[in-house]
Amino acid sequence: MIRVDTYPTHKYADFNLRTGKPIPFGATIVPGGINFSVYSRHAVSCELVLFNKHDREPFAVIPFPDEFRIGNVFTMIVFDLDYENIEYGFKMDGVFNFNDGHWFNREKILLDPYAKAIGGRDIWGEEPDWSNPYQYRGRIAFDDFDWGDDRPLELPMRDLIIYEMHVRGFTKHSSSGVKYPGTFAAIREKIPYIRDLGVNCVELMPIYEFDEFENSRISPVTKERLLNYWGYSTVGFFAPKAAYAATGTFGMQVDEFKALVKDLHKNGIEVILDVVFNHTAEGNENGPYISFRGIDNKTYYMLTPEGYYYNFSGCGNTLNCNNPVVRNMILDCLRCWAAEYHVDGFRFDLAAILGRNQDGSPMHNPPLLETLAFDPVLGKCKLIAEAWDAGGLYQVGAFPSWGRWAEWNGKYRDDLRKFLKGDEGFSGAVSQRLSGSPDIYNRHYRGTCASINFITCHDGFTLMDLVSYNGKHNEANGENNNDGGNDNHSWNCGFEGQTSDEGINFLRQKQIKNALSMLMLSQGVPMILSGDEFGNTQYGNNNAYCQDNEISWLDWNLLNRNYDMFNFFKKIIEFRKMHPCLKSSEENDYETHVDNGYPRISWHGTRAWDADFSGTSRLLAMLSCGNNTGSDGTTQYDFVYMAMNMHWEMHGFELPGLPEGYKWHVFANTDAPAPNDVWGAGKEVLLDNQSEFLVGARSVAVLVGKL
Amino acid sequence: MSDKFIVQIGEITKVNLSGKLDAIRAPLLMEELKSLIGQSVKRIVFYAQDLEYISSAGLRTIIFAKQKLGADTELYMIGAQDTVTDVIKMSGLDNFLYLQGSYEG
């Protein structure tokens, strides 16, 4: 088919132009040229600035002809460009008026908010040329990746086991043994490991373009450079970070990331992206011009009536998420990741901000969240909210959800940690957390899959550090240990930090297994922090956001040293998969009892059917009942009993009675030294004593009742 | 540098790649490869010892060869330098290509 709109009609200097299409925004390859389109409500005029890759000075500045403008969108096609080797930006002209919120400055070259690829910072940590007027440069991306028959996996939420990972930290340490450390390609090399562990979903900390040099400074303690390592500060929402790609210097990060997603999918592993729509890297009034500030400040940022930047993110500015245009941008962005990158879901950082109005006030029915919940393209995507922000809005349990949003359950983390370290009186709270927190997430409306259960995540201690330190040790961050949370609910098992004391180390390993057992046997969706499975430590730093070194990089040497721990993780993850009664019920299944009369979940103490929920209790047992279909096709009743003794003394737990023929077998006992700490799923050991099980001090036992 | 990429057409077709295969030169290779459509080519052997650099556009030309010439056509790339094989593997565009040091036949 011959298109009649593929020939230039106008000329500017040596450039052939034609009127462009306003949608899609950004830079799109069209026959013979590139369609450029950018929105600005308040700009008066716009120029396209073109560079040859890496050149300091542009080779062309082409004004968008006013006759090409449609509404508030500047658009044009420029023909005959070497699309692999150019970089582009915009210059916007308009008013500068602080009170009115306009920051137009026609000297600044601005990054296209819709840039699908970004060049200029291709190598991680390479000191930028600070005098370069245009640091982050839009590039043209190919969107023709050959996916074969790949598509998002659409695993049921109830089956998900999430593994939170930092792309660079996962493989940067030399012990990782990969060819391209710290990159997307390196994660592919580790896919066999991830499969072996058994998780089926990888949640990646920010992978879009961000500035690792933001707030960079030298640590007064270590004299090393501190970087914005975690990346919670967006430069380009639509572009994968070039410096995370082994092919970043060749500009192939888009292909490389897509290849990663394709490979993960092929291995049955979903991909969830951590997205940060609450603020940008442009900071507050003193921050740089990168993109939004110069393109249309008033549209993109929440501003006070005097024109200052609201700071609900704690990072200088707040994205104006419920402005209709910004809302569309967020939607376009997520649709792009879902449709073009086949991403399976998103976790929204500081999501409470997404529910704030343009003037900062919390909204009852935030249009953005509703839009995302009902969007057709995102219809099968997981949507997970970190349901709080830095401005005092704490919405765990109350995040507007329309039945689609899940939340990071901060209460799960806190209650389990307190119980784990032996605080008294938490049995009642823990019983709620283990059953999917129905006190927070109504079973009929939100369902227990709304609860993302976790004990550790990137924020705070690693699991090994949770049981090795009473307090945080963030001196290396250079803020006098004032940064990072104080309410860690951690316990060092008798000594602060690393020790050679065998007893303490055994207890720490046991506590880790205790925590994991409870997490993996909980209703809701479990999430673990990458590295916890082999006892990775950050040496007590609970806020390693700026540490680009051994503190935050996973030490794979620990995998050999702590192989027993890895084995425990692997076995218990497998166990969860083999026992559907541990997972949240199917939708619309509100049965409370199995057809044999046993309740689906019941609570016990040292006496069966009699849990101690008093204020001095330190122990609890859970019995989960359901059905299980074996590999031979036969179905039998399934009984999983977990006794949790967080007291410092051994206790006998009276075992609930089982139906005729069924007997108790032990699957795991954290008090037993490896390899007797855990048996394979299906290989549980028949107990001689069917009426009582002795659970050691600070230990968890998991029993299975079967024929 | 020879003018033509394809040096031998047949069931086994041999192609010489040298210098840079980027957005400027890739379309030329693409045109030559198009002439193979419908020619019952069983195998294409790309000789890449002198290939210094392959870009996104160059890689896509190779992928085009695979897609247009059929699932039964095998693609081999012989003697490519590390920089080239690295880029192919890292970007994930290698699962339809046999990368080898040398080729008999």
Domain end position, chosen among A550, A581, A612:
A581
Chain A interface includes B68 (CB < 8 A) = no
Is A571 within a domain? Answer: yes
Tokens found for residue A640: 């999983």
Tokens found for residue A411: 């209460």
Chain A interface includes B100 (CB < 8 A) = no
Residues constituting chain B: 105
- Chain A nearest CA to B96, separation (Å): 11
**Yes or no, beta carbons of A260 and B92 under 8 Å apart:** yes
Q: Which among B53, B56, B61 is the top mutation candidate for probing chain A, defined by the most A β-carbons within 10 Å of its own β-carbon?
A: B56
Most confident of A351-360, A510-519, A621-630: A510-519
Q: Which among A150, A250, A254 is the top mutation candidate for probing chain B, defined by the most B β-carbons within 10 Å of its own β-carbon?
A: A250
B35-53 residues labelled b (16+ CB within 10 A) or e (exposed): ebeeeebebbbbbbeebee
Is A373 within a domain? Answer: yes
Where residue A239 sits, what CATH number does that domain have? Answer: 3.20.20.80
What pLDDT shows up at residue A415? 98
Secondary structure string (H, E, C) spanning A370-415: HHHHHCCCCCCCEEEECCECCCCCECCCCCCCCCCEEEECHHHHHH
What pLDDT shows up at residue A431? 97
The separation between CA B35 and the C-alpha centre of its own chain, rounded to angstroms, equals 14
Chain A interface includes B91 (CB < 8 A) = yes
Give the residue from chain B lying closest to A262, CA to CA.
Answer: B92
> Considering CB atoms only, which of B57, B60, B91 is closest to A247?
B91
Segment (H or E) for A335? helix A324-339
**Nearest partner of A157 among A331, A398, A404, judged by Cα:** A404
What pLDDT shows up at residue B105? 63
Give the residue from chain B lying closest to A255, CA to CA.
Answer: B91
What's the CA gap between A659 and A540, in Å, rounded?
48
Q: Cβ atoms within 10 A of the Cβ of A344, count?
A: 27
| Torsion region of A41: left, alpha or beta (phi above 0 gives left; psi -120 to 50 gives alpha) | alpha
Structural domain of A119: 10-139
Digit-coded pLDDT (tens) for A293-325:
999 999 999 999 999 999 988 889 999 988 999
DSSP string, chain B: --S-SEEE-SSEEEEEEEEEESTTTHHHHHHHHHTTTTS---EEEEEEEEEEEE-HHHHHHHHHHHHHH-TT-EEEEES--HHHHHHHHHTTTTTTEEEES----
Determine the 3-state secondary structure of A67 from DSSP: helix
> With 60 as the cut, is the pLDDT of residue A652 above it?
yes
> With 60 as the cut, is the pLDDT of residue B1 above it?
no
What's the CA gap between A163 and A264, in Å, rounded?
13
How far from A2 is each of A7, A32, A568, A581, CA to CA, in Å?
Answer: 11, 13, 63, 60
Cβ atoms of residues A152 and A342 within 8 Å: yes
Q: Which among A29, A84, A342 is the top mutation candidate for probing chain B, defined by the most B β-carbons within 10 Å of its own β-carbon?
A: A84
Give the residue from chain A lying closest to B91, CA to CA.
Answer: A256
Domain co-membership, A209 together with A98: no
Domain ranges of chain B: 6-100
Chain A interface includes B22 (CB < 8 A) = yes
Non-local CB neighbours of A684 within 8 Å, separated by 6+ positions? A665, A666, A667, A703, A704, A706
Domain co-membership, A211 together with A293: yes
Domain co-membership, A503 together with A615: no
HSE-CB for A554 with a 13 A CA cutoff: 26
Q: Cβ atoms within 10 A of the Cβ of A214, count?
A: 20
Residues from chain A contacting residue B57 (CB–CB below 8 Å): 84
Domain end position, chosen among A546, A561, A581:
A581
- Chain A nearest CA to B37, separation (Å): 20
Where residue A51 sits, what CATH number does that domain have? Answer: 2.60.40.10
A91-128 residues labelled b (16+ CB within 10 A) or e (exposed): bbebeeeeeebbbbebebbbbbbbbbbbbbbbebeeee
- Chain A nearest CA to B94, separation (Å): 10
- The structure tokens 């809302």 sit at A327
Confidence of residue A211 (pLDDT cuts 50, 70, 90): very high
* Long-range contacts from B1-4, C-beta under 8 angstroms, 24+ separation: B4/B32
Q: Tell me the one-letter amino acid at A511.
A: Q
Non-local CB neighbours of A577 within 8 Å, separated by 6+ positions? A159, A161, A198, A681
Please give the DSSP secondary-structure letter assigned to residue A590: -
Q: Is residue A276 exposed (0-12), middle (13-18) or buried (19+ Cβ within 10 Å)?
A: buried
**Yes or no, beta carbons of A247 and B87 under 8 Å apart:** yes
Chain A interface includes B86 (CB < 8 A) = yes
Across the range A430-436, mean pLDDT stands at 96
ipTM for this model: 0.90
> With 60 as the cut, is the pLDDT of residue A389 above it?
yes
Q: Cβ atoms within 10 A of the Cβ of A21, count?
A: 15
- A interface with B, Cβ–Cβ below 8 Å: 82-85, 142, 144, 146, 180, 183, 185, 188, 245-247, 250-252, 255-256, 258-260, 262-263
Rounded to 5 degrees, φ, ψ at A186 are -65, -35
Digit-coded pLDDT (tens) for A508-566:
999 999 999 999 999 999 999 999 999 999 999 999 999 999 999 999 999 999 999 99
Pairing of strands A162-165, A201-204: parallel
**Yes or no, beta carbons of B56 and A252 under 8 Å apart:** yes
Segment (H or E) for A208? strand A208-210
HSE-CB for A245 with a 13 A CA cutoff: 33
To the nearest whole percent, how much of chain A has pLDDT over 90? 83
Confidence of residue A466 (pLDDT cuts 50, 70, 90): very high
Pairing of strands A345-348, A270-275: parallel
Please give the DSSP secondary-structure letter assigned to residue A436: T
Domain end position, chosen among A581, A612, A636:
A581
> With 80 as the cut, is the pLDDT of residue A97 above it?
yes
What's the CA gap between A464 and A478, in Å, rounded?
23
> Considering CB atoms only, which of A84, A144, A259 is closest to B92?
A259
Tokens found for residue A372: 């995302």
Q: Tell me the one-letter amino acid at A55.
A: D
Chain A interface includes B52 (CB < 8 A) = no
Is A149 within a domain? Answer: no
What's the CA gap between A120 and A136, in Å, rounded?
5
| Torsion region of A632: left, alpha or beta (phi above 0 gives left; psi -120 to 50 gives alpha) | alpha
Domain co-membership, A251 together with A397: yes
Q: Tell me the one-letter amino acid at A353.
A: I
Q: What is the mean pLDDT of chain A?
A: 94
**Yes or no, beta carbons of B92 and A84 under 8 Å apart:** no
Give the residue from chain A lying closest to B94, CA to CA.
Answer: A259
Residues constituting chain A: 707
Domain co-membership, A611 together with A560: no
CA angle A248, A253, A255 (to 5 degrees): 140
Please give the DSSP secondary-structure letter assigned to residue A221: T
Digit-coded pLDDT (tens) for A245-258:
999 998 999 999 99
What's the CA gap between A90 and B95, in Å, rounded?
38
Q: Which among B22, B88, B90, B95 is the top mutation candidate for probing chain A, defined by the most A β-carbons within 10 Å of its own β-carbon?
A: B90
More confident of the two residues A395 and B84 = B84
Of A200-214, A364-378, B87-101, the poorest mean pLDDT is in: B87-101
The separation between CA A559 and the C-alpha centre of its own chain, rounded to angstroms, equals 23
Determine the 3-state secondary structure of A320 from DSSP: coil
**Yes or no, beta carbons of B91 and A251 under 8 Å apart:** no
> With 60 as the cut, is the pLDDT of residue A575 above it?
yes
What's the CA gap between A442 and A176, in Å, rounded?
43
**Yes or no, beta carbons of A262 and B92 under 8 Å apart:** yes
Instruction: List active site positions of A.
Output: 349, 386
Cβ atoms of residues A130 and A150 within 8 Å: no
Q: Is residue A2 exposed (0-12), middle (13-18) or buried (19+ Cβ within 10 Å)?
A: exposed
Q: Tell me the one-letter amino acid at A491.
A: W
Rounded to 5 degrees, φ, ψ at B62 are -65, -45
Domain co-membership, A575 together with A593: no
What pLDDT shows up at residue A17? 96
Confidence of residue A432 (pLDDT cuts 50, 70, 90): very high
Secondary structure string (H, E, C) spanning A32-52: CEEEEEEECCCCCEEEEEEEE
Domain co-membership, A173 together with A97: no
**Nearest partner of A200 among A335, A345, A336, A377, judged by Cα:** A345
Across the range A422-443, mean pLDDT stands at 94
What's the CA gap between A134 and A132, in Å, rounded?
6
> With 80 as the cut, is the pLDDT of residue B93 above it?
no
More confident of the two residues A590 and B15 = B15
What pLDDT shows up at residue B3? 64
Domain co-membership, A565 together with A618: no
- Chain B nearest CA to A178, separation (Å): 12
- Chain B nearest CA to A492, separation (Å): 42
Domain co-membership, A332 together with A422: yes
Torsion sign (Cα): A3, A9, A15, A20? negative
**Yes or no, beta carbons of B90 and A245 under 8 Å apart:** yes
Give the residue from chain A lying closest to B92, CA to CA.
Answer: A259
Total number of domains in chain A: 3
What's the CA gap between B4 and B11, in Å, rounded?
18
**Yes or no, beta carbons of B56 and A85 under 8 Å apart:** no
Is A151 within a domain? Answer: no
Domain co-membership, A125 together with A203: no
**Yes or no, beta carbons of A185 and B92 under 8 Å apart:** yes
What pLDDT shows up at residue B102? 87
Residues from chain A contacting residue B59 (CB–CB below 8 Å): 255
> Considering CB atoms only, which of A84, A146, A246 is closest to B55?
A84
Count interface pairs A-B at CB distance under 8 A: 51
- The structure tokens 């009426």 sit at A691
**Cα maximum dimension of chain B:** 33
Q: Cβ atoms within 10 A of the Cβ of A555, count?
A: 17
Determine the 3-state secondary structure of A592 from DSSP: coil
Cβ atoms of residues A557 and A232 within 8 Å: no
Q: What's the fold here for domain B6-100?
A: Transcription Regulator spoIIAA (3.30.750)
Cβ atoms of residues A694 and A652 within 8 Å: yes
